[in-house]
Amino acid sequence: MLSFILKRIAYALPTLALISFFSFLVIELPPGDYMTTLQGTLVSQSGMSPGEARALTNQMREEYGLDQPFLVRYGEWISAIVTRGDFGFSFIFRRPVGEIIWQRLGMTLLVALCAHVISVVIGVLIGIYSATHRNTFLDHIFTVLAFIGFSVPNFFLALLIMYVLAFGFGQHVGGFFSPDYVIAPWSWARFVDFLKHFWIPVVVVGLAGTARNMRVMRGNLLDVLNQNYVRTARAKGLSNRLVVFKHAVRNAVQPIVMYLGVALPFLLQGEIVTSAVLNLPTMGPVFLQSLVSQDMYLAGSFLMLLAVVLVIGNLLADIALVWVDPRVSYD
Amino acid sequence: MIDTTRTPSVPQPKPKARSKSTSTLALTWRRFRRSTLAQIGGTFVFLLLLLTLFAPFFAPYSAAETQLGTVYVPPQRLHFVDAEGRFHPRPFTYALVPDMDPETWERVYRKDTSQMYKVNFFAPGWDYKLLGLIPTNIHFLSVEEGGSLHLLGTDKMGRDLLSLIIFGARISVGVAVFGALMSAFLGAVIGAASGFYGGVFDTVTQRIGELLLSFPTLPLFMAVSVAIPVEWPPLGVFFGIMMIFALLGWPVLAREVRGKVLSYREEEFVMAAHAAGAKGPYIIFRHILPNVIGHIIVILTISVPELILAEGALSFLGLGIQPPLVSWGVLLRDATTLETLGQNPWIMLPGLAILLTVLAFNFLGDGLRDAVDATSR
């Protein structure tokens, strides 16, 4: 088992290296750099002459090492990450990238994880119901709802919920708190207010996953329920409940376990768009802003982290699968 | 997935004198026909493609037509019965008179029931070229001179939203369909070649594919689309987005095709082709790919809705299609603030267009997958 884990980690390492290089490359693709953006801002907003602005930004380029060739900058960036955990400097926030990411990642992960848990629990439960009540009226309803669930664009759903809450119920939407509670100390009322805002992104982000889990669970359980050992269990006179939950579900839930590791980055992806609509203080708006103004260390680091989370998630899922299912071999 | 296990007692066709075995295509078609949702989806997609092909014919207004007099007109109703209770076989709309709400000071439109404008079908209107070739000015739906016909309301520039959604379908569906087609082509060729030849090419493409797949798609699309230079003309941006979809999307299909090719490589019919002196590319395109074409079509169909959603999100965030061009995502950019949304909720309708289209493609893709999976086993 240990050698299997080590082997998998060894295999993941070159992938991680490639991911970091590719992230940096992608972020470097746009012509120019942050200083080009800054130069434009200086001229249009601070009233500098183009010559002055160019001189100033060139000086800053030198200061931050942006005039170095691509490979040198990549080397410095990645070695600082590996040796010191330093992700570089964010120009728009004038602070280290690591600080911004850690500050906002907490809320981002909380939204994504809550969405994840809900989508797995609800998805699996509805999936079990649908499979055991196949071709009933409710099963058909759930099938259509699932299709709608993964067809609705995140941002559209967020807009729709915002509209209904704001104009149908007169509730405050956007952000995590009503204006009254933003800087208030934690209290029960503030917590309730937080929950009133928090469920919106969780539902928006989790809907597609719920729909997907439900369909996967339904399909798998239907396959398993047709197998001989299930028939044997029924023939022995076991109760339907015992057959389904003890014998069938355990085997059908396997692909969901595999999906656990893969899902997180995709939930984060949903969170990025949703938080841009709902104006949440999470990673989404920061990532968007950093891309647009070419704040490359911030954008690159975040892009890389998304992929790293996916690779680690896959690794964990593989290990979990070997652990859960004795039939999967270590090789 | 829609339930393929049940086999209803289909009356078997009488065997003819020399009965021919049913072809795979016919079997697949028969399976496909069994799913209601897939047929609904297929019909919708077909109608949508017609709508995009003949967009100017179906659009009551030209997309470029901005009118300051008709900013944010709410959706207008078609009437059959007039104010005096008389029935008109041809629907009509009432005249709209711009007015001001005395309390909020906002612009509202009052219905003037004394002035009626008949709706015309197949009547001449603004000039366009059908399919870009045949100059004509016949439109499916228009209104009598002087009247207005905004069935889904208008946007902030006074453009007819229904027409914008119809023209937006061209861009939104076009970029997704062509992006998916190119990515499927790349994926099929790369996957087939790497499965068939193996070796260094296989290792390299597999690694690149794995790398691309280890990024969540949307953030990657976002990061790469920023690289499209601002100076590019809108149409250039359109092609840029399409290329991004193609260049980043091929690994899914390549992986699938590679697996299939690996399993077919050792089959007798490929050996026979080898023995008969056929060359590699000939065997791939002539003997192996036809066996995989079903899966290619399925993945193609499934990736179209994903790309429609991606285009919507990208354009909505301002990183995709740019404004002179109209796409559903671009149209939704106007719906970002709660104030505009509250007063003019109909500007969310392009989102509904995305939802329905993606839904239809998903129905279709799901039905196709069931049909292909069942017959290729």
Give the CATH number for residue A222. 1.10.3720.10
Q: Is the pTM above the cut of 0.90?
A: no
**Residue B164, CA distances (Å) to B79, B329, B330 in order:** 23, 12, 10
Quote the ipTM score: 0.84
| Cβ atoms of A294 and A37 closer than 8 Å | yes
In which band, very low, low, confident or very high, does the pLDDT at A165 lie, cut at 50, 70 and 90?
A: confident
Mutate to test the interface with B, among A207, A291, A296, A308 (most CBs of B within 10 A): A291
Contact A147 B218 (CB under 8 A): no
| Count of CB atoms situated within 10 Å of the CB of B117 | 16
Domain contains B9: no
B215 touches chain A (CB under 8 A): yes
> What digits encode the pLDDT tens for the residues A100-136?
888 888 888 888 888 888 888 898 889 888 888 888 8
| B208 plus B269 within the same structural domain | yes
Chain B neighbors of A315, CB-CB under 8 A: none
| A169 plus A222 within the same structural domain | yes
| A48 plus A196 within the same structural domain | no
| A199 plus A51 within the same structural domain | no
Of A15, A19, A269, the CB nearest to B218: A269
| A57 plus A148 within the same structural domain | no
| Alpha carbons within 13 A on the beta-carbon side of A99 | 8
Contact A135 B3 (CB under 8 A): yes
| B212 plus B298 within the same structural domain | yes
Nearest CA to A27 out of A90, A99, A107 is that of A90
CA distance B208 to A18: 9
Chain B neighbors of A162, CB-CB under 8 A: 338, 341
Maximum distance among all alpha carbons in chain B?
88
Look-up of token digits 């994926």: B187
Maximum distance among all alpha carbons in chain A?
88
Taken in order B233, B235, B237, B239, the sign of the CA dihedral is negative
**DSSP label of A312:** H
B348 touches chain A (CB under 8 A): yes
Contact A15 B3 (CB under 8 A): no
Instruction: Pick the most confident of A36-50, A212-226, B334-348.
Output: A212-226
| B369 plus B285 within the same structural domain | yes
CATH code of B365's domain: 1.10.3720.10
Domain contains A330: no
What mean pLDDT do residues A165-194 have? 76
Mutate to test the interface with A, among B44, B222, B252 (most CBs of A within 10 A): B222
Instruction: Give me the torsion for CA of B14, B19, B21, B23, rounded to 10°.
Output: -80
CA distance A288 to A291: 5
- The bridge status of strand B107-130 relative to strand B87-100 is antiparallel
What pLDDT is attached to residue B376? 59
CA distance, residue A213 to nearest chain B CA (Å)? 13
In which band, very low, low, confident or very high, does the pLDDT at B7 lie, cut at 50, 70 and 90?
A: very low
Domain contains B34: no
**Helices B349-376 and B36-53, interaxial angle, to 10°?**
130
| A143 plus A272 within the same structural domain | yes
| B220 plus B144 within the same structural domain | no
| B220 plus B298 within the same structural domain | yes
| A169 plus A229 within the same structural domain | yes
What mean pLDDT do residues A252-266 have? 75
Contact A159 B351 (CB under 8 A): yes
Of B218, B341, B352, the CB nearest to A163: B341
DSSP string, B260-318: HHHHHHTSHHHHHHHHTT--HHHIIIIIIHHHHHHHHHHHHHHHHHHHHHHHHHHHHTT
| B80 plus B213 within the same structural domain | no
What mean pLDDT do residues A159-174 have? 81
Q: How many domains does chain A have?
A: 2
Chain B neighbors of A222, CB-CB under 8 A: 5
What mean pLDDT do residues B118-146 have? 77
**Residue B249, CA distances (Å) to B68, B189, B217, B236, B303 in order:** 42, 13, 9, 20, 9
Lowest mean pLDDT segment, chosen from A58-67, A163-172, B189-198, B314-323: A58-67
pLDDT at A198 exceeding the cut of 80: yes
- The bridge status of strand A95-96 relative to strand A89-90 is antiparallel
| B309 plus B365 within the same structural domain | yes
Q: How many domains does chain B have?
A: 2
| A153 plus A266 within the same structural domain | yes
In terms of pLDDT, which residue wins out, A141 or B19?
Answer: A141
| B124 plus B224 within the same structural domain | no
- The residue segments making up the domain with residue A70 are 34-86
pLDDT at B3 exceeding the cut of 50: no
Domain contains A270: yes
Chain A neighbors of B303, CB-CB under 8 A: none
- The residue segments making up the domain with residue B199 are 39-53+164-376
- pLDDT, mean over chain B: 81
B207 touches chain A (CB under 8 A): yes
Lowest mean pLDDT segment, chosen from A212-221, A313-322, B224-233: A313-322
